[in-house]
Amino acid sequence: EDSKWWDRAHWQPYAGRFDEIHPFPRVNTCRGLRDLPRLYRESAGRREAIAQLPIDKARDLIVCVGGILTISNATISAHPEAKKVLCVAEKVYRDLTRIGERTRYRFTTSGWLQNRIVEPMAGLNRTIHFKPRINPGGDGVRVERLQKNPDSLYHRIVVMSNGGADVSNNPEIIGAKFPSVAELQNLPQVSDKNDDCSSRQVIFFGTPFLLIHNVSPDVYVERLNSCLDYLRRNFSGHALIYRPHPNETNEADRLKLNGFRIEEDREAAELYFLRNYQTIAAVFSVSSTVSRTALNNGINGYAMYPVFPFTIQQSEFFAGVMGDVPAEFTINDLNSPPVPYQPIAAGSGRSFAEALQLTVEQKIAS
């Protein structure tokens, strides 16, 4: 899906590993009745363009790893008879099977227009975008999913988690660990015994706290500055880096970032980790999944949301997003130094590569 996010990603070095690359335009959501013709034209046009791809329904396997309600939905709608595999995090899988009772939820205006008018006319699987009738605020309160359960649209589903355990007895739903840079060959392992601290990076990934008001901005700034002091105290001599969230505006101007280098490229964390894996000593965030991504890529990642005055509901939401993590992963006390926990002993869960291989073998067998 061609968008500003891809413009910010340094993905060109990996392009040669693909036989073909086909960019398709991003389709923005509906802004009202007057915007319906535009949304229909773009949605139908993208689906038709994807339908023209030379996908052999008997031979090829479609693997969807993102854009589940957008470009992936357009792809499986355009090729309904092809074999399809969905790869999602466990939290996303739970959301895709979550039921929004109509007594508690209602369609968003744009979601109703998409579900009732645009998607049926454009030949797309319908999607649901619900919001609570009484909005409690905070993250995770909306219901956004395909109208049908994913197992009725995909032949196999790979559900990724930190441990890779199965989440269902259904053999078509396969548990797997998140893909990891640490599993790639010829990449050095992270070591906390590197004597040259100045060459090791400690990275804090920011949050658009002026956009998302889980806590008032003034309180958030005060706690976040304490977190930045925590990094200065515990990583003296390391290169300290602040990477703003892609949706941040002027949040960094309100923080005490002395001693930090600000990196403004807004690149996806996964690609950033891949390019800088050898030099990263630790990754911190308040509640971003980037900390979980670091953990699953063999890097010491930490989440600091317990030191913020979030509600119990918000804290439970963050814990659910992070999943089953080591106790050292969450920073509960700014007076205690972070404890390195990598490398994590290999568990019994299957790797992402093993899960994909299993889906291919099942396709051949079927």
Dump pLDDT digits (tens) for 121-146.
999 999 999 988 876 655 667 889 99
Q: How confident is the model at residue 137, as a pLDDT?
A: 58
Residue 185: pLDDT band (50, 70, 90) is: low
Q: How confident is the model at residue 363, as a pLDDT?
A: 67
Q: In the predicted model, is pLDDT for residue 287 greater than 50?
A: yes
Mean pLDDT of the chain: 90
Q: How confident is the model at residue 14, as a pLDDT?
A: 84
Q: Which residue has the higher pLDDT, 94 or 192?
A: 94
Report, as an integer, the average pLDDT of 143-167.
94
Q: In the predicted model, is pLDDT for residue 163 greater than 60?
A: yes
User: What global pTM score does this model have?
Assistant: 0.84
Q: How confident is the model at residue 140, as a pLDDT?
A: 63
Q: How confident is the model at residue 139, as a pLDDT?
A: 61
Domains identified in the chain and CATH numbers = 4-180+351-365 (no CATH), 197-329 (3.40.50.11110)
Report, as an integer, the average pLDDT of 3-7.
79
Q: In the predicted model, is pLDDT for residue 186 greater than 90?
A: no
Q: In the predicted model, is pLDDT for residue 366 greater than 80?
A: no
Q: In the predicted model, is pLDDT for residue 188 greater than 60?
A: no
Q: Picking from 52-61, 269-278, 294-303, 341-350, which range would have the lowest pLDDT averaged per residue?
A: 341-350
Q: How confident is the model at residue 364, as a pLDDT?
A: 63
Q: In the predicted model, is pLDDT for residue 204 greater than 50?
A: yes
Residues paired with 105 in a beta bridge: 132
| φ and ψ of 161, to 5 deg | -145, 175
Q: In the predicted model, is pLDDT for residue 198 greater than 60?
A: no
Q: Could you give the percent of the chain with pLDDT greater than 70? A: 92
- CA 339 – CA 354 distance, rounded (Å): 31
- 3-class SS letters over the chain: CECHHHHCCCCHHHHCCCCCCCCCECCCCCCCHHHHHHHHHHHHHHHHHHHCCCCCCCCCEEEECCCCCCHHHHHHHHCCCCEEEEEEEHHHHHHHCCCCCCCCEEECHHHHHHHHHHHHHHCCCCEEEEEECCCCCCCCCCEEEECCCHHHCCCEEEEEECCCCCCCCCCCEEEEECCCHHHCCCCCCCCCCCCCHHHCEEEEECCCCCCCCCCCHHHHHHHHHHHHHHHHHHCCCCEEEEECCCCCCCHHHHCCCCCEEECCCCCCHHHHHHHHHHHEEEEEECCCHHHHHHHHCCCCEEECHHHCCCCHHHHHHHHHHHCCCCHHHECCCCCCCCCCCCCCCCCCCCCHHHHHHHHHHHHHHC
pLDDT digit string, tens, across residues 51-96: 999 999 999 999 999 889 999 999 999 999 999 999 999 999 999 9
Q: How confident is the model at residue 194, as a pLDDT?
A: 42
Report, as an integer, the average pLDDT of 22-35.
90
Residues paired with 158 in a beta bridge: 87, 174
Q: In the predicted model, is pLDDT for residue 271 greater than 80?
A: yes
Residue 147: pLDDT band (50, 70, 90) is: very high
Q: In the predicted model, is pLDDT for residue 193 greater than 50?
A: no
